[in-house]
Structure 1
C-alpha cells in the first residue's frame, strides 16, 4: 500500500547523442520523481571519450519523450527547453552548446551556460551566458539575419525585448523595446536603437481603454487637427482622467499626470451648460457641454484662450454621467 501511495524515487543517468557529430552528453538526475532535481550535465568528446565539460546543478528540469532525452527543444519563453541545446550562436559556422545550469532566469525559468565551439575546443563565454541568465529562458537565434533575441518581463505590465548582433565575437545590443503598463491604461514604449555611433532612445505613449474596469465618459475629434479628446474613468469609476491623443493615436497630454493623481476636477451646471474644470502649472482647462450637447474645450494659458471644438459627427457620450458618478478626484460646485 505504501509503494502504491507514493511515487518511487530513483536516480538515473541518461545518454544524449543527438546534438553533435563531435560530442555526446550524459545527464544525471538524483531524483526522477521530482520536477526539479539536483544533478549534473556532462559533455564528452566522441573520439577520446573524455569529459570536456561538467555542470552541476541543484535544480535540473528534465522531460522525457518516450523514455528518452531529446536535445534542442526550445519552447521559448515558458515551455520546455532541453538541458542541452546545440546551435551556432556566434555565426562562425560551428555549432555551439548551451547547457542548463538550473532555474535562474525570470520566473524560476531555465538558465544556461554557453560554450563556444572554437578550433581549440569548447570555451565558456560569459557574454553569451549572460543572455541565457538575465532574461526569460534561452535566447533565440536567427541564422538568416545573424541576430540573437531575448525577452523578459515583470508581471503583466512590463515587458522588454532585445536584439543583438555579433560584434568582435560577442553579443552587441542594437535594439531594445521596453513596454511599461504599470500605470494602466497608459502604456509607455521606450525604444533604444544603435545608430552606428551611439544608442538613440525614443519614447511614445498610448492609451488602452478596452479593459472592463475603464469607462469612456465622452470623447470627440478636435475640428481642424484630427486630435481626439477623451474623458474616462479607471478602477471602476474611482478616478477620472482627461487625455488628448494625437492623430496617430499617441498620447500628447493627460491630466492628472503620473505621480499627481491627487489633482482634482470640479464640475458645475449653470443655465443648462455643464463645465468640467481642471488646471496644472501651465494652463487652466474647461471642458464645456452646451445645452444642445455640443462639446468644446477652452485652454487658458496666461492671458490667451484657445478653444478646441468638436468635429461634427465625432462626439460620443456626454458630461452628464459625471453628475452621478463619484470619482475620488471629482467634486461638484
Structure 2
C-alpha cells in the first residue's frame, strides 16, 4: 500500500466531491459559501500534492494515474451541479465526461502494459482552466444569492450569464482538442488496444470499477466513494436497484477470470464494494442528504473492514458468489444501522439534526 501524503491529498478530492455537490445544489447562501471553500481547498490541493510528491521524492506511477482522476471527479461534480442548476447545458458536460472516461480507460490500459501515460501540458492547462472557471461561477452564485451584493451586478446579469455560457463553450472546445492530442500522441497504444482481447479488458474494467481497484490506497474505499457519486444524478431508487443488479451480474461474469490472474478476492476486485454501496443507496426511506450519504459510506466501510460474523466466514469462502456475499451482508448491516438512526432522529431530540 502506498499511503504517501501526496496520494492521500489526491484521494481527499474524491472524498469531498459528493459533499461539495450536495452543498452546492442546496441553493442557499450558507451552503454555497461552504461549497466554494471546499472546492477552493480541493483545487489548491491539486497543486500541493504534486509539489509534495516532487519534494519528498514520492512520485509514483499510481500518483501519476490517480491525481488527474481525482481532478476529473471533483470538476465533474461541479459541472453536473451547474447543469442541475440550469447554468450550463448538459451536452457540453456529456462531451467532457465522455472524454474523461475514454482517457481514463486508455491510461488504465497503458498501466496494465507497464507504460503509464504522462499527463500532457495541454491537459494540465485544461484542468487549471476548468477549476478557475468553476471558482468564478461559484463566486457569481454567492453574489447572486446575497441581496446586498446582487445590486452590484443586477444590471449586467444577462451579460454575465452569457459570458459564463461562452466560457464553458471554450472549455468544451479545449477539452476536445486535448482528446485529439491524446489520440495522436498515443496512436500506437490505441492500435494495440484495438487488436487486444476486448472481453478480457471489459472484465478488468468491470472488476476494477474502471481502474479504482488499481489504487494502492484503500481501493475498496475509493470504489465505494466513487459509487456514492451516483447521488449527483438524483437517480430514483428503482434505477439504482437496476444498476445494482446489472453490476452484480457483470461482476459475477468478470470475477472468475480476474481471480485466475490476480488471486482469490484480490484487492483490485472492487465491483463487490460498488454493489454493496449501491444496494444501500437504493433504499428509498433514507433521506437523500450528504449527512446520510456519508453515514452510509462510513458504516459500510467499517463493516466491510471489521468483518463481524458472518461477513468474515463469507469472506473466507472461495468463488465469485462469495466475493459479493460478504459485501452484501455488510450493506445489510449498514441498512439496519441507518434504519435505527432514522428511527432515533424521529423520536430522540438529540438525533433530530439527522432529519
Q: Bin the TM-score by the shorter chain.
A: under 0.3
State TM-score, norm by structure 1: 0.23
Question: Which structure has greater helix proportion?
Answer: 2
Taking CA–CA contacts closer than 8 Å with sequence separation of 6 or more, which of the two structures ends up with the larger relative contact order? 2
Bigger Cα Rg: 1
